[in-house]
């Protein structure tokens, strides 16, 4: 296998990995916020259900969740699994898994906001919705940015798990290239690609941190 062919194969796998990464974030970030609100609900039933969901998602391996989502329709409902379902199963499993982690990050960020912020908003006549979305969440974003970025970096590496479902991501393409070339060179190039992806995430995080720094209470005072 020539170098150009190998790089094309790795690039094709990288596109799939990036697609999984982007789709997972698009669904898990807003879903995590909804789960966070459920976790903080005053209704004990809703709070209990959401807490159980978070415990299951965080307490079981992502690989196990992938297998359940992929094989579940067949073993539970007798639905035949098509080849195209593999990627859909990946999107579902990754989204519901990472939503649980993001929910706890959101909750920690919201709880870190001083109680005086709520009281000041109430004194200004703001509703609970206005207080949450106009006052609390903007300040929360800066506080939760580091753990969110850490989860995003972990997500980049976790995309390698999807090769177990015959999804041709970067890791699957790399293994295929290694088998064809009988060389460790594809692993070297794959490592560079993963490092570049995490480096880009770090740069974006730095820009976002500067943007949200305007909500820093110290700077305002």
> Quick one: pLDDT band at residue 221, thresholds 50, 70, 90?
very low
- Write out pLDDT tens, residues 87-126: 899 999 999 999 999 999 999 988 888 877 777 877 878 7
Question: Contact at 8 Å (CB) between 117 and 174?
Answer: no
The pair of three-digit structure tokens given for residue 104, joined into one six-digit string: 């706890």
**pLDDT at 217 exceeding the cut of 70:** no
Poorest-confidence range of 9-23, 43-57, 157-171? 157-171
Give the mean model confidence (pLDDT) for residues 64-82.
87
In the prediction, which pLDDT does 3 show?
79
In the prediction, which pLDDT does 179 show?
87
Q: Count of domains in the chain?
A: 1
**pLDDT at 219 exceeding the cut of 50:** no
**pLDDT at 33 exceeding the cut of 60:** yes
Question: Contact at 8 Å (CB) between 24 and 94?
Answer: yes
Supply the CATH number for residue 210's domain: 1.10.3720.10
**pLDDT at 215 exceeding the cut of 60:** no
**pLDDT at 218 exceeding the cut of 50:** no
User: What percent of the chain shows pLDDT beyond 70?
Assistant: 95
**pLDDT at 182 exceeding the cut of 60:** yes
The pair of three-digit structure tokens given for residue 209, joined into one six-digit string: 């941190």
Q: Which domain holds residue 107?
A: 3-220
CA atoms within 13 A on the CB side of 107: 19
For residue 124, the tally of other CB atoms under 10 A from its CB is 10
Q: What is the biggest distance separating any 2 CA atoms in the chain, rounded to whole angstroms?
A: 70
Please state the pTM of the whole predicted model.
Answer: 0.87
């Amino acid at each position: 296998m020539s170098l150009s062919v190998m790089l094309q194969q790795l690039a094709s796998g990288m596109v799939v990995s990036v697609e999984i990464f982007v789709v997972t974030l698009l669904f898990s970030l807003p879903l995590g916020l909804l789960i966070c609100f459920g976790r903080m609900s005053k209704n004990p039933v809703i709070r209990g259900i959401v807490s159980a969901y978070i415990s299951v998602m965080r307490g079981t391996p992502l690989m196990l969740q992938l297998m359940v989502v992929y094989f579940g329709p067949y073993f539970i409902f007798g639905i035949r699994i098509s080849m195209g379902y593999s990627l859909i199963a990946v999107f579902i499993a990754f989204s519901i898994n990472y939503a649980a982690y993001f929910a706890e990050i959101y909750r920690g960020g919201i709880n870190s906001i001083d109680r005086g912020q709520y009281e000041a908003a109430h004194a200004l006549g703001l509703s609970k919705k206005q207080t949450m979305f106009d006052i609390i969440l903007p300040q929360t974003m800066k506080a939760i940015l580091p753990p969110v970025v850490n989860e995003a970096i972990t997500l980049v590496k976790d995309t390698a798990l999807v090769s177990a479902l015959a999804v041709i991501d970067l890791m699957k393409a790399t293994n295929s290239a290694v088998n064809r070339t009988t060389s460790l060179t594809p692993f070297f190039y794959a490592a560079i690609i993963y490092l570049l992806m995490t480096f880009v995430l770090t740069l974006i995080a730095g820009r976002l941190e500067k943007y949200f720094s305007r909500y820093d209470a110290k700077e305002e005072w």
